[in-house]
């Protein structure tokens, strides 16, 4: 079995299970973690015994979002050696759009099992899965992200409301808006998620793939994938305007929200999001 540093991957009968495993940073997503997630998806795809893939987080948290500067993440990123300019842009696009779209189009059913925080890149990852089950105490934070599926996940007006305000929403609200399929008591989340996945795995892989392809194509016919491509370009242009730094106080209310969240956990802003 392939050995990973930032995730765990196991096969449980017909289920593949990816566990984000940086609990010390509440599963903030570094480039190494994203590479390992992608490798685990490839393993699950090549394994005919795996019919359904579950993605979850360790330590009671799904993901606190993008890694914004932990030492090991910076070292890994520097080792990739992308040069400023087109190489750096291609790298950014690869990790923030291309791999997420690939996971969205993974040919087997996928399910996000969300506990605790699901912030920014956490939302991106969960939203790319086919189905989202969440614990009652899960909290979701939408924001200005690279894989901008949020208007498709919850509707344009709600997306504007939440992104303008940078407001956490509880799992029950996320369910009402359509991001989450089921909200379950924490004690029942794993059992019910795995039970549902096993029921799905009893169907033929041909039927499952047929259903998934047609659901995704229906969304793409409305412009989903093209809209995400276009949004990434706008995101890059805005982020590189002179004087724009969303990590600075006063530029983004998310910073105040984030400081408050991390203050409860004894974390310093800038290490993960």
| pLDDT score recorded for residue 63 | 97
Confidence of residue 264 (pLDDT cuts 50, 70, 90): very low
Say how far apart CA 121 and CA 30 lie, in whole Å: 10
Q: Sketch the domain layout of the chain as residue ranges.
A: 7-265
Say if residue 246's pLDDT is above 60: no
- Residue 2 confidence (pLDDT): 73
Greater confidence (272 vs 13) lies with 13
Kindly report the CATH number that applies to the domain delimited by 7-265.
3.90.226.10
| 55: β partners | 18, 112
pLDDT at 238: 58
Q: Tell me the pLDDT tens digit for each residue of 22-42.
A: 999 999 999 999 999 999 999
Q: Name residues whose C-beta falls within 8 Å of residue 224's C-beta, 6 or more positions apart in sequence.
A: 149, 152
Q: Hey, how many other C-beta atoms are within 10 angstroms of the C-beta on 215?
A: 11
pLDDT tens for each residue of 96-124 = 999 999 999 999 999 999 999 999 999 99
214 Cβ neighbours under 8 A, 6+ residues apart? none
d(CA 261, CA 157) in angstroms, rounded, equals: 26
- Backbone phi and psi for residue 16, each to the nearest 5 degrees, phi listed first: -100, 140
Specify whether the CB–CB gap between 138 and 122 falls below 8 A. no
């Amino acid at each position: 079995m392939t050995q990973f540093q930032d995730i765990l991957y196991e096969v449980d009968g017909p289920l593949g299970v990816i566990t984000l495993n940086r609990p010390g940073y509440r599963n903030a997503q570094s480039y190494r973690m994203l590479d390992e997630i992608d490798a685990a998806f490839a393993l699950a795809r090549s394994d005919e015994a795996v019919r359904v893939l579950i993605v979850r987080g360790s330590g009671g948290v799904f993901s606190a979002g993008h890694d914004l500067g932990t030492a090991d993440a910076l070292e890994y990123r520097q080792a990739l050696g992308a040069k400023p300019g087109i190489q750096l842009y291609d790298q950014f696009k690869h990790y923030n759009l291309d791999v997420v779209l690939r996971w969205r189009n993974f040919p087997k059913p996928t399910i996000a099992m969300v506990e605790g925080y699901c912030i920014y890149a956490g939302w991106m990852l969960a939203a790319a899965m086919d189905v989202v089950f969440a614990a009652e105490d899960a909290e979701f934070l939408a924001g200005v992200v690279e894989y901008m599926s949020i208007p498709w996940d919850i509707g344009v007006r709600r997306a504007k409301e939440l992104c303008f305000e940078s407001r956490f929403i509880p799992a029950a609200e996320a369910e009402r808006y359509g991001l989450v399929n089921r909200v379950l008591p924490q004690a029942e989340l794993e059992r019910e998620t795995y039970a549902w996945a096993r029921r799905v795995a009893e169907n033929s892989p041909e039927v499952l793939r047929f259903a998934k392809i047609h659901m995704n194509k229906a969304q793409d016919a409305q412009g989903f994938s093209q809209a995400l491509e276009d949004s990434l370009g706008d995101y890059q242009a805005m982020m590189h305007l002179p004087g724009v730094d969303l990590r600075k106080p006063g530029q983004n209310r998310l910073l105040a929200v984030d400081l408050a969240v991390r203050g409860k956990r004894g974390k310093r802003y800038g290490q993960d999001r």
